[in-house]
Amino acid sequence: MAPFRRALILAAIILTSLYLLHRHQSNTAPTVLSQKAEATSSSNDKAASNAAAPAPYTPPPGTAKQQQLQKFHELRKRPLKEQLAYQFPYNVRSKFPKFIWQTWKYTPSSNLFEEKYRESEASWTEAHPGFVHEVITDSVAKHLVKYLYGAVPEVVEAYNAMPIPILKADFFRYLILLARGGVYADIDTYALKPAQEWVNPAFKPSNLGLVIGIEADPDRPDWHDWYSRRIQFCQWTIQCKPGHPVLLEIVSKITKETLERKRSGQLTKDHHTVLEWTGPGPWTDAVFQYFNDPEYFDMETSTGEIGPMNFTKMTEPIQVGDVVVLPITAFSPGIGHSGAGEVDDPMACVQHGFEGLLPKMELSLRLIS
């Protein structure tokens, strides 16, 4: 019987082993299948998600929107100045827009607006009834630049990259004049005359696009110790029509230089950098570059290059193309140098405050009336 019992025991062991093996496989299979099912489901979900995501909108070929989009992409490949000229076309026959633009940290409606600027700011409104007069704050300027120059993102990037407020304020005056035209005036300037009276009627407004004045005419050997240029044009007061080529030049130049400084890590804050970055130096250069640009002037018939000596010691307005340059007394009366007349001179149009050097407002009101 021993062999038989051994056989039974062996058979029982084999059957038990088979049973346990089968039970183990039954328990593990669903887990494996579940993992495969989850993976398949996840893959299907991703595919469904991708299928549900809308493709970028492309206008149908041949439609006006498709042609406009194609033109925009082609324009973006052109030089910056051409892009700006397209966005802000220039028409010399148009009227000077009735805008007065100023910038400051606060608007006149704020109790933080400094009292020392209230009379000077008000002089522009009083001298220009019917004009839109805006004092643009830094926070508003940022959004306005984005709105006006959204189609030329390099300009917006350059404006936002500028490291100090004075650079942005300088740049903004050019940007708002290029886009909208009108008059820009620093917050500490007095309007001694309405803008309509700055230029003699003998100069036809329909032939003019830019009115500027002399800031400094230092006829002395050491002029470069005091000023950026031998003849320096004012940037504290400018009148122009939108899209003027001089504004195209200065905006393009500042944008390119700012982005180059950004890429090379040279966004410095020193005073000299400001003067040669956005200040009267590059502004004066842009004006002279325009005067000698064969794209706008017939240089073959010119008697020579137009430079500082053409404007030194001038006492009457000079017209060059569509630009009128006013004598130093117009925008810089009472400065006591460079041959400038006094504030009560009949040729005085605007006076710059230089932080507290303005006369009493009664004088300005008397001159206006």
What CATH number corresponds to the domain at position 176?
3.90.550
Per-residue pLDDT tens for 272-319?
A: 678 899 999 999 999 999 999 999 998 777 778 999 999 999 999 999
Domain range spanning residue 297? 64-368
DSSP codes of every residue in 188-222: TEEESS-GGGSS-TTS-GGG--EEEEEEE---STT
Q: Is residue 323 part of a domain?
A: yes
Question: What's the pLDDT band for 131 if we cut at 50, 70, 90?
Answer: very high
* Counted domains in the chain: 1
Q: Is residue 11 part of a domain?
A: no
Question: What's the pLDDT band for 73 if we cut at 50, 70, 90?
Answer: low
pLDDT above 90 for 369: no
Instruction: Tell me the average pLDDT of the chain.
Output: 83
Q: Is residue 6 part of a domain?
A: no
Q: Is residue 19 part of a domain?
A: no
Q: Is residue 320 part of a domain?
A: yes
pLDDT above 90 for 180: yes
pLDDT above 60 for 230: yes
CA distance 46 to 34: 18
Determine the pLDDT at residue 41: 45
Q: Is residue 182 part of a domain?
A: yes
Q: Is residue 265 part of a domain?
A: yes
pLDDT above 50 for 31: no
Where would I find the H helices in the chain? 2-52, 64-75, 80-87, 118-127, 138-148, 153-161, 165-180, 245-264, 271-277, 280-291, 328-331, 361-368
Sign of the alpha-carbon torsion through 330, 332, 334, 337: negative
Q: Is residue 221 part of a domain?
A: yes
Q: What is the DSSP letter of 354?
A: T
pLDDT above 70 for 42: no
Per-residue pLDDT tens for 185-194?
A: 999 999 999 9
pLDDT above 60 for 59: yes
Q: What is the pTM of this model?
A: 0.78
Question: What's the pLDDT band for 360 if we cut at 50, 70, 90?
Answer: very low
Per-residue pLDDT tens for 191-220?
A: 999 999 999 988 999 999 999 999 999 988
Beta bridge partners of 233: 214
